[in-house]
Structure 1
Amino acid sequence: MFKNPVGISKNLWGYRQLIKDLTFREVASRYKGSVLGILWSFITPLLMLVVYTFVFSEVFNSKWNAASNSKIEFAIILFCGLVTFNIFGDVVSRAPSLILNNSNYVKKVVFPLEILPVVALGSALINSLISMGLLILFIGLFMGAIHWTLIFVPIVLCPLLLLAVGLGWFLSALGVYLRDIAQVVTIAVQALMLLTPIFYPATLIPKDLLFLYFLNPVGYVVENMRKVMIWGQTPEWGTLGVEMLIGVIVFFVGYIWFQKTRPGFADVI
């Protein structure tokens, strides 16, 4: 049992080659047998972008700000939020079934089950990197500049990655004992996506509901990602510090929960 996040990170680093191999195998298996293969990683986000942009900017006539009627700008802002949230949503949505879907590893004493949520995160990151590449291309083509503040993207994403892995450990262990949690998590992730300022600016949130925004750590990450990627601004360092603290706590608690409940996996499965 590791007593601190640094020890946990060192343990995971020791399995880095196994994590890398499993991550690429998972990405490859996702598109195995399909005609277009890895091209779906490009096509899927583009289709999502077109659909969401049409629904919100054409059907609902949504605008990001009153000074601009640009549908392309709206699409880029929306896409940035979606790409960021999907990293978190993909890992958390899959988490309750991770151990159950890899039950063949459970009785292998030497296999480090704790890497499975990390592998899920790695797979989500590969897909998101493709989407981010498209996003940067769109920003350069349609907004006229690619900002130097892109260097802050890894720092801004760090709390979200810690949060995703920590919740991944917690939910993957809980999913072994409580199978219904998968359905609950699916609904919760969809609700969280709508409560996060992805399709609308945070300024439109009614004052009596602002507490929902302040309690949502994903919302801060989405806003900071737009700052550094689209607007060329530095992150909001105060909120970034709070996000990092929350991420480290969830990361640590999730790992401890996973290791405490792990001995019973084989009996339940």
Structure 2
Amino acid sequence: MFLNPFIILKNLWSHKELIKSFSKREVISKYKGSILGIMWSFITPLLMLAVYTFVFSEVFNAKWGTGSDSKIEFAIIIFCGLITFSIFGDVISRSPYLILGNANYVKKVVFPLEILPVVALGSALINSLISMGILIVCVGIFMNAIHWTLIFIPLVLCPLMLLSLGLGWLLSSLGVYLRDIAQVITIAVQALMLLSPIFYPVTSIPKDLLFIYYFNPVGYVVEDMRRVMIWGQMPDWNVWGIEMIIGLVVFYLGYIWFHKTKSGFADVI
């Protein structure tokens, strides 16, 4: 089945207002009823940062190998990796439940079910943007630099967003037909986070295990985000080009799979 890629983009763009509305609603509803409300978007990443920093820098006495023993710098480096991975992890973790959790929309012929993974990505990006703002402030205060390379953040994240959407469509469809997939994905996301260079530098990976990094598409994005946000370096454009190709292929195939299988959702649910 061939579908013009521009038709996919046109279809999603035609629902942009619905996507924005649903994404905003998700972020607000996440903290609805809590005393601090949206402030948890700021507090949660800071608390996670504090916990991970304590465990890795104090308990395991981990060093990044930048020549600095600063625990704050170590925390900033980890924080950047966590923010980047959370975009991918949030979308993938939620995907198997997206259709099942919105069963009331399945039988509505006019509702575009394909926007649900896009909404999940939008919600994850909003939360990550808040965390990125905190990170930029921390880099400015504790490392005395806010780099012009920040302008490359959207480009660096583009392959990750395409990959997340493609897998989101695939997993949300599989979640309808294979209910156990949700449990598998939960474990897989946790494993991938630990296998990505978030809590340790790539240089610390044993040579015989480097293939894990080479075949981990999230790891490259994590490294490029650190380059542009913390160290003021350019992204690795050669790797970025390969990542974009992979992201586009997964994006396209994921949408095709979803489009082909969604007609059976109502029968199964």
Q: TM-score range by the shorter chain?
A: over 0.9
Paired residue for 1:183? 183
* Cα distance, 1:7 vs structure 2: 2.0
Paired residue for 2:192? 192
1:53–1:74 contact (8 Å) kept in structure 2: yes
Quote the Cα distance in structure 2 between the aligned partners of 1:141 and 1:67.
19
Which shows bigger deviation, 6-15 or 88-97? 6-15
1:4–1:252 contact (8 Å) kept in structure 2: no
Paired residue for 1:97? 97
Paired residue for 2:136? 136
1:5–1:251 contact (8 Å) kept in structure 2: no
For residues 93-140 of structure 1, give each alpha carbon's deviation from its aligned partner in whole angstroms, at most 9, with x where no partner exists. 000000000000000000000000000000000000000000000000
Q: Which amino acid aligns with 1:157?
A: L
* Cα distance, 1:68 vs structure 2: 1.3
* Cα distance, 1:10 vs structure 2: 1.3
Quote the Cα distance in structure 2 between the aligned partners of 1:160 and 1:42.
23
Quote the Cα distance in structure 2 between the aligned partners of 1:121 and 1:93.
11
Paired residue for 1:17? 17
Quote the Cα distance in structure 1 between the aligned partners of 2:161 and 2:10.
16
Q: Which amino acid aligns with 1:218?
A: V
* Match runs of 1:54-69 below 5 Å: 54-65=54-65, 67-69=67-69
* Cα distance, 1:211 vs structure 2: 0.6
Quote the Cα distance in structure 2 between the aligned partners of 1:5 and 1:151.
27
Paired residue for 1:83? 83
Paired residue for 1:262? 262
* Cα distance, 1:157 vs structure 2: 0.2
1:166–1:252 contact (8 Å) kept in structure 2: yes
Matched, 1:44 2:41: no
Quote the Cα distance in structure 2 between the aligned partners of 1:257 and 1:139.
42
Paired residue for 1:71? 71
1:80–1:225 contact (8 Å) kept in structure 2: yes
Q: Which amino acid aligns with 1:96?
A: P
Quote the Cα distance in structure 1 between the aligned partners of 2:108 and 2:240.
39
Counterpart of 1:231 in 2: which secondary structure?
A: coil
Q: Which amino acid aligns with 1:115?
A: I
Paired residue for 1:162? 162
Quote the Cα distance in structure 1 between the aligned partners of 2:31 and 2:160.
26
Counterpart of 2:99 in 1: which secondary structure?
A: helix
For residues 166-192 of structure 1, give each alpha carbon's deviation from its aligned partner in whole angstroms, at most 9, with x where no partner exists. 000000000000000000000000000
CA RMSD of aligned residues (A): 0.9
Paired residue for 1:151? 151
TM-score relative to the length of structure 1:
0.99
* Match runs of 1:192-231 below 5 Å: 192-231=192-231
Q: Which amino acid aligns with 1:36?
A: L
- Unaligned regions of 5+ residues in structure 1, if any? none
* Cα distance, 1:66 vs structure 2: 6.0
Counterpart of 1:113 in 2: which secondary structure?
A: coil
Quote the Cα distance in structure 1 between the aligned partners of 2:48 and 2:2.
41
How many residue pairs match? The answer is 269
Quote the Cα distance in structure 1 between the aligned partners of 2:115 and 2:74.
38
TM-score relative to the length of structure 2:
0.99
**Relative to structure 1, is the Cα distance of residues 186 and 209 closer, same or farther in structure 2, using a 3 angstrom cutoff?**
same
